[in-house]
Structure 1
Amino acid sequence: MIVKIQCLAIFLLLVSLFLSSVVHCIRSHPSSQMALEIAVKAAVGAPHALGDCPFSQRVLLTLEEKKIPHKIHLIDLSNKPQWFLDVNPEGKVPVVKFGDKWVADSDVIVGILEEKYPEPSLVTPPEFASVGSKIFGSFVSFLKSKDANDGTEQALVAELSALDEHLKAHGPYVAGERVTAVDLSLAPKLYHLVVALDHFKKWSIPESLAHVHNYVKLLFARESFEKTKAAKEYVIAGWAPKVNA
C-alpha cells in the first residue's frame, strides 16, 4: 500500500512538473497562444493570390523568420472591403493587429515584432541599418525612365556597386553570417528589381557585382522568401501601370 502511494505521489509530481513546463513555454512564447492577423495586398487581377507589395512581404518575411503564427487577409486595393476600411481608414497595407489595434507602416510593425518576439533576434547593428537604402528609389527611377541618357541607370549601378563593396567586406549578409532586419527589407525590393527590369527593360544586375549576385541567391533561396514572394506575373502586373504611364 505504501509503495502504491509513493508511486502515485511520484506520478503526480511528474505531471505537475510537465504542466509547469507547458505553462512556462506558453508564457515565454506568446505566439503559441494566438495567430497574429495581417492584411496585405492581393495580386492585381487575382484577389485570391498574394500580391506584389514589397513592404507587405517584408513583414511576412519577419513573421516567417521568427516562426510567429499568423493569419493573412488578402486585400484587393481596387475594391477594399468595408471591414478593412473600418479598422484602417487610410486603407494602406500592410497592417497587423496587435491586441485590439491595427498598426500600419512596415517599419513600425517590424519594430513591434522584434520587441514582442525577440527570439530569434533580427536586430541589425546600427552602423549597417542604412545599407542599400537608396537602391529601391534608384530602381524605380530607372524603371520608369523613358530617356536612356538621363543617368538613372548609372545611379542604380552605383548603389548596387556600393552594396557589393559592403558585402565583400562584411557578407554574405549585410551584417555578416546572420540574416537581420535590413536583409528582410532589401530582399523584396531586390526581387522587384530583378523581375521588373528583366521584363520591361531586358536589364539585369551586372555580372561584375559577384557579391550582390551571391546575396540575391542566398535571400531568394530562404524558405521564408519562397513562402512569401508574389508570383513573377503579379510583380509585372503591379508595375505595368507605372511603367506605361
Structure 2
Amino acid sequence: MATGMAAETQMGPPTTTAVPLGTGLEAGSLQVFGLAPPGAGSPSLELGACPHSQRVYMALEERGLPFVITGIDEQSMPSWLTEINKNAEIPALRDGDEYVFGADDILSHVNDRYPEQSSAFLVPEAQLQQIETITSALVETFMKWMESKSKDSPVRTEYEDAVVELNKHLEKNGPYLCGTSPTDADFKVAPLLHHARVTLLNVMDFELPKKYAAVHKYIALMEGRASFQKYNQPDELIVSSWQRKFGMQAQTA
C-alpha cells in the first residue's frame, strides 16, 4: 500500500472561493462546501472548526485531487444550495454538476469516481466494522460527557474505556488504524480525536494519560501530516464551537 503524502511536505494555505463555480463543468472540477464560522455568512472565505469538513479536505488532499473550498454558515444556508437538497448537509461536494452531501457519501463518491487516486486509502473490508465500533464509542462518549456539563461525570470513565479500546487496536494493528500507512479511516478519526482531546483538556480538565502510548504515537503521526496541519483550526475555535453546541461557558464546574 502506498504511504500517501509525506508528513514533512510543506503546503500553502487552503484554496478558498466565495463564488460558486460556474455551471456546465466537467467531472473533476471539485468544490467542497465546508463549514464556515457562525456569523461568517454564506458563501464565505472563512473555514470553521469542523472535523467532518476536515476529513473531506484531508482525503482529497492526500489523493492529490485539486479542489477549492467555499465556506457555508449553517445559520444562513444559501437558497441555491437548499434548492438542490432541502436538507443540505455540510460538508457537501460539487463534482462538475453533481452534488453529494455528507462526509460518508462524499468519500464513497470519490472512491467510485477516482479509483486510481483512492486505491491506496481504502479501508480493508475485514477491519471496517471494528474501526467503526471504536470510532462510534469515542464520539458517543465524548458527546455524552459534554452533554453532562460536568467534569466529574461518570461518563469520564466511559470515554477513557473507549480510548483503551483504540489503544489496544493501535498496539495490534498500528501505527495507523489499518497498518503502516494512513487510510480513509484515519482521515475520519484523527480530526474527531483531535477535537475531543483539545475540548476535554480545556473544558473538562481531562488530559489523555501518557500510558496510552499507541494513541499518543498515532496522534503525533496524524497531526504531523501536512494535510492535517493545512486544514486544522486553532484550539480556541475548536473549543468554542463545542461549548456553543452544548450551551457551555468558557469554564465548566
Q: Would you say 1:105 and 2:98 are equivalent positions?
A: no
Give how far 1:147 is off: 4.5
CA shift, 1:241, in A, is 2.1
Report the count of equivalent residues. 214
Pairs within 5 Å for 1:1-245:
34-46=28-40, 48-118=45-115, 119-120=117-118, 121-129=120-128, 130-131=130-131, 132-133=134-135, 134-147=137-150, 150-244=153-247
The one-letter amino acid of 1:234's match is L
Task: Determine the C-alpha separation between the residues in 2 that align with 1:39 and 1:242.
Answer: 20
Describe the shift of the 1:46–1:230 C-alpha distance in structure 2 as closer, same or farther (beyond 3 A).
Answer: farther
Q: Deviations over 1:84-133 (max 9, x none)?
A: 22233213201111332211121111011112222252111122224222
Identity value in percent = 29
Amino acid at match of 1:85: T
CA change 1:165–1:195 in 2 (3 A) is same
Distance 2:237 2:79 in 1: 24
1:206 to partner: Cα distance? 1.3
Contact 1:40 1:93 in 2 (8 A): yes
Conserved? CA contact 1:44–1:234, under 8 Å: no
Q: Is the 8 A contact 1:38 1:73 kept in 2?
A: yes
Instruction: Determine the C-alpha separation between the residues in 2 that align with 1:56 and 1:147.
Output: 28
Residues 53 and 148 of structure 1, relative CA distance in 2, 3 Å threshold: closer
Q: Which has the higher helix share?
A: 1
Matches of 1:165 and 1:230, distance apart in 2: 29
- Deviation at residue 210 of structure 1 after TM alignment: 0.6
CA distance in 1 between counterparts of 2:151 and 2:237 reads 26
Aligned counterpart, 2:17: none
Q: Is the 8 A contact 2:88 2:101 kept in 1?
A: no
Deviates further, 166-175 or 137-146:
137-146
User: Which residues of structure 2 form unaligned runs of 5+?
Assistant: 1-25, 249-253
Distance between the aligned counterparts of 1:158 and 1:92, measured in 2?
31
Greater relative contact order, per chain length (Cα 8 Å cut-off, separation 6+): 2
TM-score by length of 1: 0.81
Report the Cα offset of residue 44 of structure 1: 3.0
Q: Which runs of 5+ in 1 are unaligned?
A: 1-31
Q: Is 2:151–2:205's contact at 8 Å kept on the other side of the alignment?
A: no
135-144 or 177-186, larger mean C-alpha shift: 135-144
> Residues 14-40 of structure 1, C-alpha deviation per residue, up to 9 Å, x if partnerless?
xxxxxxxxxxxxxxxxxx984301101
Q: 1:42 to 1:180 in 2, by over 3 A?
A: same
CA distance in 1, matches of 2:104, 2:31: 17
Inter-partner Cα distance in structure 2 for 1:182 and 1:145: 28
- Deviation larger for 90-99 or 206-215: 90-99
Deviation at 1:149, TM superposition (A): 5.5
What does residue 8 of structure 2 align with? Answer: none
TM-score normalised by structure 2 residue count: 0.78
Call closer, same or farther: CA 1:145–1:175 in 2, change over 3 Å: same
Q: Report SS of the residue matched to 2:123.
A: coil
Larger radius of gyration: 1
Q: Secondary structure at the match of 2:83?
A: helix
Say whether the 8 Å CA contact 2:31–2:69 is kept in structure 1. yes
